[in-house]
Structure 1
């Protein structure tokens, strides 16, 4: 479980780096960039809602959002995931639970698999954001895990 804690620290670090880039104005105002970032954050929110045993069907997967929404959601997600993970036990990690997706289809997955998915999902879309940045002439954001570890360790 220590690895998932580190992955979620990385997730927050990477989200803050993307947010900073988008707020800098260097990335331009392409709405797709903000849309992809809002999707990452909203998906994190949806999965946490499900993990908490709540209905997530009212949350849209692709919200129409601005950078203020992204900033608030990134901060809230970090706080709420930190609290959730602090209370997670080994037994809970393996617990399989039932949930419905936004279309109402029912699935059964373990808490550990869901948390791993959340940590990896954002990396996929941050890669898309970086590709769009580069295509638009802006410098991509280094969100590599090893960069996070090096910065955290001061090496």
Structure 2
């Protein structure tokens, strides 16, 4: 695995860990929470300018950035712009990416940002092709995440 891809996968893992921090019943300590938030944001910012000509690598990078910026509580005034920039890159990647778990994950995270119905339908169509008897843990996880995103659509603009 090359350096850029390994850094993107590392960020995906760190963001996932942060998003589910405390969900396992373990105590949640504020210093650990703050440290992990800072770590994820630093990883996002270090990868933000990186780009790849390889479609799958670029898709993993966009996914990592979306996950990371969603997971962190910190915003130094430019997080919304950075997320929009990543979304713009993602649209190009999605057109080139073959049907896969990676594409479903990317569609799910994009849908969670903009709630564009055709993204949800495309993700659902790919998931419908999966053999329900032999689902991987990653497939089950993204199905559950997408269900949660669908059921809890509350963009912050509406809550103000």
Global fold match (TM > 0.5): no
TM-score by length of 1: 0.30
| Higher relative contact order, structure no. (Cα contacts within 8 Å, ≥ 6 residues apart) | 1
Structure whose residues are more often strand by fraction = 1
TM-score by length of 2: 0.29
